Amino acid sequence: MTSGGPFIVALHTNDTDRLDVGALDRVKVTLHGTEVVAIADVAYGIVNRGEIGLFLEVAAALNGKDGDLVQVILEQKPGSVVNIKKKLDKNVLKKEEVFEIIQDVVENKLSEVETAYFVAGCYINGLSLEEVQFLTEAIVRFGGTLEIRKKPVMDIHSIGGVPGNRVSMIVVPIIAAAGLTIPKTSTRSITSASGTSDTVEIFAPVAHTKEKIMEIVKETNGCLVWGGTLDLASADDKLIKIERPLSLDPEGILLASIMAKKKAAGATHVLLEIPVGEDTKVKDVKRAKELGKKFEVLGKKMGILFEVVIIDGSQPVGCGIGPALEARDVLQVLQGRGPDDLRERSLFLAEKLMEMAGIKNAEDKAKSILHSGLALEKFRAIMKAQGGNPDVTLEDIKIGKYTYEGVAQKEGKIKRIHNKQVAYLARSAGAPQDKGAGVYMHVKLKDKVKAGDTLLTIYAESNEKLLHACKVWEEKEIIEL
């Protein structure tokens, strides 16, 4: 059995009484001179008296096997627990205290409950800019970094919250084709219908070692990979896992998370996109400017040039929402077709990145690279280098065969599209786990429709999930007229 994080061992209730160990207490387990500190789970009917059950992570660390004799003693809580309580008590943490917490997170010395209290403390009491800097440095220090020699190293990042916003999959090949270096690491979906890595995975594997990524970048100038298997900012991935159940996203951890990932990827220039809208993480322009300023200040402290662009996040970008549907949008844009808004936004961001790198006539150059087919050629080269099929066609990208059309019940103009509900609808259909599931939008804000016009199409890979999504469509007000 695997814990997926902290080291855990199972002990019989008689043994925990004898050792004066309670549930969630720490024990030191020693085998052949190797020591592991683990969380104790009081087991009933799983292990016998005098036995210990090792979760796979502990067994691997100890190189243990059935029948081995181990020593078990009570272990004190790590000092970082005291630091976590300080944050819960509204105190400002010192550099060494933040570092101690993150080191213990990375080394699995904290239970998920203790890590959750740290996240909660940051969420409730916030982090100062100095604490955010310490957190960023700690995440990078106890993670890994890419060593990219060709400078400048460009990067692009979106705060998120807008369905279908797969601009980086178009911007990266444009920038790479312009001769600039752009190693793009992304996350998988947390609450959305698809993360960038989920969509890229339609074309090629996204999980690679740091060495492999550097090879890909050296060969093609760019990459589109998942950061989760690289040990780049591994503490950040553990914090995200804790945030997911309650969709917590403390600003301080958000700042440090993005900053650490960029620092770990070797970025020297970062273009940060902050979508603003009722359903996005940032609700108004004033708040977006305040957040953008914090990124710029922190970037300067970390040796990274940040430029912030504030964009409209009031509706989905592109038409497809869900891995395969988004992949189709991306491929069509690279082929000179596809949704206008996805193409224009991608060109705008590519232009901004080129200007940051000092390229003249950036607007014309970005358009020329896309319209000439050079961006498509570069995209295929990157996907090939990542182990994918460089010749993939639209027909190769399979979408769910079970469909339902959501239609307008009356005549009118599209007044609002609820981004969160659109994402929820796509997830109800099976996205992102079912790659072919999702939603295809047929309308944009201010479009005029008649009764019976198709507003969106739901795609699912099973009839059961389609029925579930249809129920969501009927119960939620996803598109307002």
The residues that are catalytic are 249
156, β-bridge pairs: 271
464 membership: H or E segment, kind and range: helix 463-475
User: Which has the closest alpha carbon to 458: 330, 320, 354?
Assistant: 320
CA distance 290 to 313: 17
Q: Do the Cβ atoms of 122 and 252 come closer than 8 Å?
A: yes
CA distance 6 to 38: 7
**Total residue count of the chain as it appears in this document:** 481
Read off the tokens for 185.
């690491």
CA distance 264 to 227: 10
CA distance 143 to 232: 5
DSSP track, 88-125: HTTPPPPHHHHHHHHHHHHTT-S-HHHHHHHHHHHHHH
Looking up tokens 């273009």 gives 271
CA distance 284 to 264: 30
Q: Is 177 helix (H, G, I), strand (E, B) or coil?
A: helix
DSSP track, 407-430: E-SS-EE--EE-HHHHHHHHHHTT
